[in-house]
Amino acid sequence: MTDTTISRTRSTPRVIPFELNGERISVTAPPETPLLWVLRDVLGVTGPKFGCGVGVCGACTSHIDGEAARMCITPVASVAGKRVTTIEGLADGDDLHPVQQAWIDEDVAQCGFCQPGQIMNAAAFLARNPAPDDAAIDEAMSDNVCRCGTYCRIRSAIKRAAAGG
């Protein structure tokens, strides 16, 4: 059989300035390049993980101007002039973000691969809804897959962070 493939070419590279984890940078890339690959392969920022590439698993979740977004389906040009925060930029120096600390206190992680995305999603969610109930947690956190099945501990950690640790 012969498969039908479409050659997916990219546009001409252009300079795209944005802020990454508090630092002003610019990259030269075709504008539609998924930000995930700019972060991982060009900038060496490997906290955001590749899990699906199509926005259904949440492993690459990071923040754009404080809102959770999936880096694998975010064109790099769309963050021009914006603030991008990855898991590497969530803590304030050595001081962990309350959500990171809650993740440690509840011993959430097993393999840990999905957790940067879970934490970034949870941090943005709590910024929006500082005292969520279970239904709100279900709604907000179901975009992220944890194959190890740490959901009960993720929920506990979110509640702990919401309660101020």
Partner 1 sequence: MAPRTPLPATPSAEPAAPTGPTLGRRRFLAYVAAGAGLTMVGRFAGSSAPAHAFPQPADVLDLSDILQLSHASNVMDFLIRITPENRVYIETPKAEVGQGITTAMAMIVAEELDARLADVDSQLSPAEPDRIVQLTGGSNSIILFWTPVRLVAALLRTRIVTAAADALGVPAGDLVTRDTAVHAPDGRSVTYAEVADAAARVTLPDTPPRLKDEADYTIVGTPTGRLDARDIVTGRAAYAADRGVGQALPTVVKRPPQIKAPVRSFDDTAARAMPGVIAVTEIPTGIAVTAETFDIALRARDAIRVDWGPGALAGVSDAEITEQLEAALVPSLVPTLVGDVLEGRFAFPYVSHAPLETNSATADVRADSAEVWAAAKSPIKLAQDVAEAAGLPVDAVTMHVVRGGGSFGRKLWSDAGLEAAQVSKAIGRPVRLMWDRNDDMRHSRTRPASVHVVRALLGGGRVLRYEHRMSCAAMDATHGLGEAITANGEAMFPGGFGQSIWHTTQKLNYDVGPVTHLLSETELHIPTSAWRSVYSGASGAVNEMMIDEIARALGRDPVEYRLAELTNPRMRAVVEKVAEEGGWGGTLPEGVAQGVAVHDEYKAAAAYLVEIDTRGPEPRVTKAVCAADIGKVINPTGAAAQLQGCLIDGLSVMLRAGLHVDDGAIREGSYADFRWARMRHAPIECDVHLIDSGEPPGGAGELGVPAASGAVGNAWARATGRPARRFPLMEHGGA
Mask for 27-46, x = binds partner 1 (CB under 8 A): ------xx--xx-xxx-x-x
Q: How far is the CB of 65 from partner 1 (least distance, A)?
A: 20
Q: Which of 14, 19, 31, 53 binds partner 1 (CB under 8 A)?
A: 53
Q: Two tokens at 92?
A: 């304030």
Q: Does 98 bind partner 1 (CB under 8 A)?
A: no
Please return the burial class of 67, using the count of CB atoms within 10 Å of its CB with bins 0-12, 13-18 and 19+: exposed
Contact (CB, 8 A) for 158 and 132: yes
Q: Does 52 bind partner 1 (CB under 8 A)?
A: yes
Say how far residue 118 (Cα) sits from the centre of its chain: 8
* CA 48 to each of CA 52, 57, 98: distance values in angstroms, whole numbers, following the listed order: 12, 12, 19
> Can you give the length of the chain in residues?
165
Q: Does 6 bind partner 1 (CB under 8 A)?
A: yes
Residues that bind partner 1 (CB under 8 A): 1-3, 5-10, 33-34, 37-38, 40-42, 44, 46-54, 56-57, 59, 86-88, 90-91, 96, 100, 103-105, 107, 109-116, 119, 134, 137-139, 141-155
